[in-house]
Structure 1
Amino acid sequence: MTERDRLLHLVAEHVLAHGVTTLTLRGLSRAVGSNNRMLLYYFGSKERLVGEALQAVARDVFPGFENAWTEFENGTGPLEADLRQVWERIADPAHLPFLRLFFEVFGQATAHPGYSGLLGDIASWHRPAVARFVREGMTPATAEDLATELTALWRGLQMTLILTGDHVAVGRVQARSLEAFCARTRTHAGVGTGT
């Protein structure tokens, strides 16, 4: 493991445990046994470091969350069943710590220009859904609109999960919404959108 990878691993552990709202580069460097200059040397800025740490947390600690959309893009099952599987993966109670960190970082990113790269990554998270919808027979424009709609719906429901902790109620709302969503996709898609 390189020194950069070691530091990133330590930073990822720290932000998952403590969040990022009051995070300073000085405090972070003390927490991981390094110094400001070394962190800046490896990562360029606090914002880039936090963005990479968020990705490392998703990749290393919550791979089920990280891989859910890619598996959906490559899936061959009925559309509604495959989407239901994505939701079950990302809404798994074990993923709540990641969701809390994600929305905290997202809030910071919208207020600080140093996070522009991370915001670009977040904005492209619906791309696997677009690719799958196109494969299902939708036009690229329709696929883009529907993937954006679905991502926005699920982000709202994820925030509701964080606020309420009520997986049963949120799951009920999600199931009804997904059923209606998939019914509408059938008017835009070719064969293969059955449930």
Structure 2
Amino acid sequence: PVAGGERERLLGLVAAHVLEHGVTSLTLRGVAGAVGSNNRMLLYYFGSKEALVGEALRAVGEERFPGFATAWSALERGRGPLRQDLQRVWSAIAAPEHLPFLRLFFEVFGQAARGDERWRGVLGDIGDWQRPAAVRFAREGLAPRVAQARATELVALWRGLQMTLLITGAGGAAERERRRAVEEVQRAALDAFCARLPGAAGPVAGEG
């Protein structure tokens, strides 16, 4: 129990460090010094730098930004109108309070995109946004292969728009205007996307 408690304590400290400083320049020695530990102890508890970052990323998502994961699980289990459920997911994952998590996610995503399998494993389930969408689309009547293709398409759209949100600026009226423009693009794109799905077309209640 003592060892388990120390592992969780270190994981919490590493998660906070990674969220603040990112992973691009992260070294095991550097993070060990930042959390008051050493290389040997971090390797003992986590096995490798990549495994440590993977657990830290999951801890950040689950403990500091629980609404992000909840949005996807709500889509998978949801029974409401599909168009409305999809809009709720976007509104949750693109919320301003989730931008710090998105910055960290895309930083790790970029490392994985370089082809290093160790970083691909770091993303784990947190990077598998297609799965809950594909499950929901299949339940709505799409063949499994088509459901997977539509889920991939939707996630690609949302990831692109989220990256746009991350570079909208440092605050103020200009940033608010750019966010409004992204939201308009997303709603129009989601309308067009849903028009191709069985029973999902139609604006969200309250929209024009």
TM-score by length of 1: 0.92
The answer for the alignment partner of 2:205 in structure 1 is none
1:41-120 matches, cutoff 5 A: 41-111=44-114, 112-120=116-124
Answer yes or no: is the 8 Å Cα contact 1:110–1:119 preserved in 2: no
Q: What one-letter code is carried by the residue in structure 2 that aligns with 1:180?
A: A
CA distance in 2 between partners of 1:122 and 1:58 (Å)? 8
User: How many residues are paired up?
Assistant: 190
Q: Distance in 1 between matches of 2:30 and 2:124?
A: 27
- 2:94, 2:88 → 1: CA distance? 10
- Per the alignment, residue 173 of structure 1 pairs with 185
Answer whether contact 2:54 2:124 (CA < 8 A) is retained.
no
Structure 1 unmatched ranges of 5 or more: 187-191
Separation of aligned partners in 1, 2:105 and 2:153: 19
- Separation (CA, whole Å) in 2 of partners of 1:26 and 1:176: 48
% identical equivalent positions:
63
CA distance in 2, matches of 1:120, 1:140: 22
* Cα shift readout 1:96-136 (whole Å, capped 9, x = no counterpart): 10111111111122333322323453553211111111110
Which structure exhibits the higher relative contact order, with contacts defined as CA atoms closer than 8 Å and separated by 6 or more residues?
1
Q: TM-score, normalization: structure 2? A: 0.87
Alignment counterpart, residue 139 of structure 1, candidates 143, 163, 168? 143
Q: Which moved more, 1:161-170 or 1:3-12?
A: 161-170
Q: Which runs of 4+ in 1 moved over 3 A?
A: 119-123, 192-195
What is the RMSD of the two structures over their aligned residues, measured on CA atoms?
1.5
Equivalent in the alignment of 1:22: 25
Equivalents in 2 of 1:48, 1:157: separation in Å? Answer: 29
Gaps of 5+ in 2: 169-174, 203-208
Residue aligning to 1:193: 200
Q: Is 2:173 the partner of 1:161?
A: no
